[in-house]
Amino acid sequence: MKWTGLRRLGWWALVTPAVIGVVFAWPMSSQVQNPFFIIPIIAASAVGAVVSRQRPDNAIGWVFLGLGALSGLLVVSVALTDWGVAQGGPLPWWAVGAAWLQSWVWFPMLYLITVPPLLLFPSGLMSGRWALALWGPLAASLTMALYEASAPLIDVAWDASGDPSRQVPNPLAVSAVSHGGRAEDVLFQVCGTVLLAGVVAGIVSTGLRIKRSQGVERLQMRWFGFAVALFAGLVVLEIFYGEKSGLVWLMVVEALVISAFPVSCGVAIMRYRLYDIDRIISRTTSYAIVTGTLLVCYALIVTTVSSLLPESGSLAVAAATLLVAALFRPLLRRVRLVVDRRFDRDHYDAGLAVAEFSQLLQSARGVDEVLGDLESVVDRVFGPSARAVWVPAPLVEAPELA
């Protein structure tokens, strides 16, 4: 009973700042670089709240809930700091406190979103040999957070280039700690290296668990792999479009891909419709391949025609559009067939079985032979524990098919 009460108290203590952060984040969305950042905050908070409530022994739920709570605190601190600066004059004490919180809360958030999900998913447990990879980066992130929290000055406003334009004294500064210069560079380099090493160790650990997993755990790891694949696709998009700021569709994709991590983990841990992951992966992969191929074809056609015929820019666009529209369906059919063979094998085998049964129907010589083929296909595709076929009496007494 004692542990249950502490868990309930901790759950409410983390849910409250997460909800407040979501409320504050909505009106502030237009003031940040990506106004859709509220989506990952909601996703992490919701998944963490549900998983930690339904599976309190699984640490992943508490990790995401803690990440949502810290995100909420960060959003509130940014809002209070901006409000205090906008009033002019000396900065109020509550704005100074908000700016102080804003200066160091990034570091534990960076740790929570990287190392623990990699090492603890899906069971929330970890073998002893990976303990250093979990606790070492935690100590590094807390060290960087404490260092920033004890700095003599706090940044409260920034100019267009990102440099601090206004600073206030830190009431919690520690004079014994040396800030700035070579010591600060060495500290952040060492701590950053430890955090990066933890991420690499988490990736290696995840790969080993995927290789050794079986049954339900293997399906759970596929959900996590699906989120990683989406993130890899986002990295490719950032390489091509990262320098173009203000692309709404890219900002939406960024927010959705980041949200895919907590959502996929929550779905896998709660074991909700795990068998659908094969179909989701195959469909996402198929459309991604087709979209990329058609974009390349479109760009090549427009570039080639425009270089050969400089006066026919609209003609090149029209020709490329027509060709892409004509290629979409046949290309999607071909790609889906290849991808299903690799990622959605059950669906692919079922399609082959149905096609084979259609061929058998054309060459069947009697009802008994059709029923035998039907039972064989049902057993192969569905694997039922029991089956029964009802045939009307006149059909049973009918003569064999010519």
Q: Please report the pLDDT score of residue 22 as a whole number.
A: 75
pLDDT reading at 254 higher than 70: yes
User: Which segments of the chain belong to CATH 1.20.1070?
Assistant: 2-272
Q: Which residues pair with 155 in a beta bridge?
A: 167
Q: Which residues, other chains included, contact 268 with Cβ-Cβ below 8 Å and sequence gap of 6+?
A: 121, 122, 219, 220, 221, 223, 224, 274
| pLDDT (average), residues 193-207 | 87
> Identity (one letter) of the amino acid at 162?
G
Predicted confidence (pLDDT) per residue in 261-287, tens digit: 888 888 887 765 555 556 666 666 677
- Average pLDDT score, the chain: 76
Distance CA 23, CA 198 (A): 33
pLDDT of 176 above 70: no
pLDDT at 242: 59
pLDDT at residue 344 greater than cutoff 60: no
Residue 388, φ and ψ in degrees, nearest 5: -150, 145
Rounded alpha-carbon distances, angstroms, from residue 139 to 59, 134, 136, 190, 319: 18, 9, 5, 12, 59
pLDDT in tens, 140-155: 999 999 988 888 888 8
Check pLDDT > 80 for residue 180: no
User: What's the whole-number mean pLDDT along residues 88-93?
Assistant: 82
Q: Are 69 and 14 in contact (CB under 8 A)?
A: yes
Segment 93-102 mean pLDDT = 88
Q: What is the mean pLDDT of residues 72-87?
A: 84
Report the CATH architecture of 2-272: Up-down Bundle (1.20)
pLDDT tens digit sequence for 206-232 = 888 877 777 777 777 777 777 877 777
Structure tokens at 161: 């280039």
Higher-confidence position of 194 and 255: 194
Q: DSSP assignment of 109-144, as one string?
A: HHHHHHHHHHHHTTTS---GGGHHHHHHHHHHHHHH
Question: Regarding predicted confidence, which is higher, 1 or 62?
Answer: 62
* 139 vs 259 pLDDT, higher one: 139
Q: Identify the top-confidence range among 72-76, 161-165, 305-309, 369-373.
A: 72-76
Output the pLDDT for position 402: 43
401 pLDDT more than 70:
no
Amino acid 228: pLDDT: 75
Burial 159-177 (b: 16+ CB within 10 A, else e): eeeeeeeeebebeebeeee
b/e per residue 316-325 (b: at least 16 CB within 10 A):
beeebeeebe
Instruction: Give the highest mean pLDDT range of 76-80, 214-218, 299-303, 350-354.
Output: 76-80
Residue 324 has pLDDT above 90, yes or no: no
Pairwise CA distance, residues 285 & 232, whole Å: 12
pLDDT, one tens digit per residue, over 43-79 is 888 888 888 888 888 888 888 888 888 988 888 888 8
Q: What angle do CA 280, 281, 287 make, to 5 degrees?
A: 90
Q: In the prediction, which pLDDT does 284 show?
A: 65
How high is the pLDDT of residue 108? Answer: 92
| Percent with pLDDT over 70 in the chain | 69
Which pLDDT score, from 0 to 100, does residue 141 have? 93
Q: What is the dihedral of CA 347, 351, 356, 358, to 10 degrees?
A: 140
pLDDT-derived band at 362, boundaries 50, 70, 90: low
Under DSSP, is residue 208 helix (H, G, I), strand (E, B) or coil? helix
What integer pLDDT is reported at residue 1 of this predicted model?
47
